[in-house]
């Protein structure tokens, strides 16, 4: 319901504006830096609306390793932007899944599973991580080095059946990122390989055929084609200049987006809380709460490319064009107060991406 602006104090409208802020310049932030690479994070601490997803932009130098670790409160969904990496995931059955990654490939790590990421190329490796919990903190993950550092020597002796001095040279605190041997000198993990390849944590998103519209393209990774990723889904979307990703919402998921290329203008419709329109350029992120209406427009001169992540493995959406097309004309005519004839000119099915031209 619309409210009169006059009845609100200035303080209140500012609080409302903050509550409706749904964008953040992730790459514009200062990184946390290690010898082997760096990391930038956006969670509810930086973007309060982002309750369902935390995002991280991470770069590893050649030979760099994001150390052996796990996450207690979130699953991890990763997208390789540049470089060549290797991700190893260990499941509770003790099976390894070690896969190599290039630009456009994604990986999924179930909540609590052991994993690590290596740069195996000769250039910097840049990847994006999304976690299905806005309270997640990438800088307080469970790291193997930190656990060993916090464990009394006599326990380590009993645990591994080794002399105490073996642990003299172990790190005294968390390593987080380590710089290793030059690329090409590494060996694959030992032990049992994953015996259910269908549940591999690797999926080649950019290599998919996808769907083509007059205004752009979309490639999806959902539980249907990437079954390991049971609690998160993702998409790679392009919009031509002037194109519109149509008015829609997601009944079952929050949406987190990262702009890879171009300039996009996004509008969030939050019912009584109002609407908010914000621009996001390459390196920026946005967050659409579950069930909130939204649409995205390419307002720049170059193509927009975006990575979209959902905190549900099942992809669901309702598009306004399809809804109107499926509504009996007499019902729609009464609701909108227009002649039925006008409704016959509306699209007969979902638009999804409009070229922006009539
Ligand atoms: Mn991780
Ligand atoms: Mn959406």
pLDDT digits (tens, 9 = 90+) for 54-95: 999 999 999 999 999 999 999 999 999 999 999 999 999 988
pLDDT at 9: 46
* One-letter-per-residue 3-state SS of 223-261: CCCCCCCCCCEEEEEEECCCCEEEEEECCCCCEEEEEEE
The answer, yes or no, to whether residue 110 has pLDDT greater than 80, is yes
Q: What angle do CA 109, 155, 188 make, to 5 degrees?
A: 35
The answer, yes or no, to whether residue 306 has pLDDT greater than 60, is yes
DSSP 195: S
Which of the four pLDDT bands, split at 50, 70 and 90, describes residue 181? confident
Burial status of residue 169 (CB atoms within 10 A of its CB: 0-12, 13-18, 19 or more): exposed
Ligand minimally distant from the alpha carbon of residue 88? 1
130 C-alpha to center of ligand 1: Å? Answer: 10
Q: Provide the 10 A C-beta neighbour count for residue 1.
A: 4
Ligand minimally distant from the alpha carbon of residue 267? 2
Which of the four pLDDT bands, split at 50, 70 and 90, describes residue 187? low
Give the tens place of pLDDT for each residue, 114-169: 999 999 999 999 999 999 999 999 888 999 999 999 999 999 999 999 999 999 99
pLDDT at 189: 60
The answer, yes or no, to whether residue 194 has pLDDT greater than 80, is no
Q: Provide the 10 A C-beta neighbour count for residue 290.
A: 16
216 C-alpha to center of ligand 2: Å? Answer: 15
The answer, yes or no, to whether residue 15 has pLDDT greater than 70, is no
The answer, yes or no, to whether residue 14 has pLDDT greater than 70, is no
Which of the four pLDDT bands, split at 50, 70 and 90, describes residue 4? very low
pLDDT at 5: 42
Domain 208-354 in the same topology as domain 26-203 = yes
The answer, yes or no, to whether residue 173 has pLDDT greater than 60, is yes
pLDDT at 323: 96
What mean pLDDT comes out for the span 305-318? 98
The answer, yes or no, to whether residue 185 has pLDDT greater than 90, is no
Which of the four pLDDT bands, split at 50, 70 and 90, describes residue 19? confident
Give the tens place of pLDDT for each residue, 242-277: 999 999 999 999 999 999 999 999 999 999 889 999
The secondary structure of 1-24 as a DSSP string is ----GGGS-HHHHHHHHHHT--EE
Ligand minimally distant from the alpha carbon of residue 143? 1
The secondary structure of 283-346 as a DSSP string is T-EEEE-TT-EEEEEE-SSS-EEEEEEESSSS---EEHHHHHHHS-HHHHHHHHT--HHHHTTS
Ligand minimally distant from the alpha carbon of residue 245? 2
Domain ranges of the chain: 26-203, 208-354
310 C-alpha to center of ligand 2: Å? Answer: 9
Mean pLDDT computed over every residue of the chain: 92
CATH number attached to the domain at 26-203: 2.60.120.10
pLDDT at 151: 96
248 C-alpha to center of ligand 2: Å? Answer: 6
Which of the four pLDDT bands, split at 50, 70 and 90, describes residue 109? very high
114 C-alpha to center of ligand 1: Å? Answer: 8
The answer, yes or no, to whether residue 2 has pLDDT greater than 50, is no
Cα(205)–Cα(189) distance, rounded to whole angstroms?
25
CATH number attached to the domain at 208-354: 2.60.120.10
The answer, yes or no, to whether residue 3 has pLDDT greater than 70, is no
The answer, yes or no, to whether residue 188 has pLDDT greater than 70, is no
The answer, yes or no, to whether residue 1 has pLDDT greater than 50, is no
| 250 CB-side CA count, 13 A | 22
Q: Which residues on adjacent β-strands are paired with residue 285?
A: 24, 258
166 C-alpha to center of ligand 1: Å? Answer: 27
Ligand minimally distant from the alpha carbon of residue 54? 1
Catalytic center residues:
66, 69, 71, 76, 115, 138
Q: How many helices (H) and strands (E) does the chain have?
A: 6, 26
308 C-alpha to center of ligand 2: Å? Answer: 8
The answer, yes or no, to whether residue 103 has pLDDT greater than 60, is yes
Q: Among residues of the chain, what percentage have pLDDT more than 90?
A: 85
Q: Provide the 10 A C-beta neighbour count for residue 45.
A: 12
Cα(247)–Cα(357) distance, rounded to whole angstroms?
16
44 C-alpha to center of ligand 1: Å? Answer: 18
358 C-alpha to center of ligand 2: Å? Answer: 23
The answer, yes or no, to whether residue 227 has pLDDT greater than 80, is yes
70 C-alpha to center of ligand 1: Å? Answer: 6
Ligand minimally distant from the alpha carbon of residue 255? 2
């Amino acid at each position: 319901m619309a409210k009169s602006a006059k009845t609100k104090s200035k303080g209140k409208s500012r609080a409302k504006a903050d509550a409706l802020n749904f964008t953040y310049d992730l790459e514009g932030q200062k990184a946390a830096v290690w010898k082997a690479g760096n990391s930038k994070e956006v969670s509810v601490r930086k973007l309060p609306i982002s309750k369902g997803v935390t995002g991280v932009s991470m770069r590893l130098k050649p030979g760099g390793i994001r150390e052996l670790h796990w996450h207690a409160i979130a699953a991890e969904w990763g997208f390789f932007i540049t470089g060549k990496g290797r991700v190893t995931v260990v499941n509770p059955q003790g099976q390894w899944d070690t896969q190599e990654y290039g630009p456009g490939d994604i990986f999924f790590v179930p909540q609590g599973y052991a994993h690590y990421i290596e740069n195996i190329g000769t250039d910097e490796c840049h990847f994006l991580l999304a976690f299905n919990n806005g309270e997640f903190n990438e800088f307080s993950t469970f790291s193997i080095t930190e656990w060993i550092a916090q464990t009394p020597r006599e326990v380590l002796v009993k645990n591994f059946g080794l002399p105490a001095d073996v642990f003299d040279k172990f790190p005294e605190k968390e390593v987080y990122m380590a710089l290793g041997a030059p690329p090409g000198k590494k060996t694959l993990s030992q032990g049992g390989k994953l015996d259910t390849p269908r549940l591999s944590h690797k999926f080649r998103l950019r290599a998919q055929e996808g769907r083509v519209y007059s205004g752009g393209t979309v490639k999806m990774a959902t539980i249907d084609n990437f079954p390991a990723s049971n609690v998160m889904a993702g998409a790679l979307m392009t919009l031509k200049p002037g194109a519109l990703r149509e008015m829609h919402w997601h009944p079952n998921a929050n949406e987190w987006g990262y702009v890879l290329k171009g300039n996009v203008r996004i509008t969030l419709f939050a019912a009584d809380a109002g609407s908010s329109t914000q621009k996001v350029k390459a390196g920026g992120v946005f967050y659409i709460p579950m069930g909130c209406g939204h649409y995205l427009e390419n307002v720049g001169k170059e193509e927009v490319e975006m990575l979209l992540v959902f905190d549900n493995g099942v992809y669901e959406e309702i598009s306004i064009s399809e809804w109107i097309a499926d509504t009996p004309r007499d019902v729609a005519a009464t609701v909108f107060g227009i002649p039925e004839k006008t409704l016959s000119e509306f699209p007969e099915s979902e638009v999804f991406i409009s070229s922006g031209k009539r």
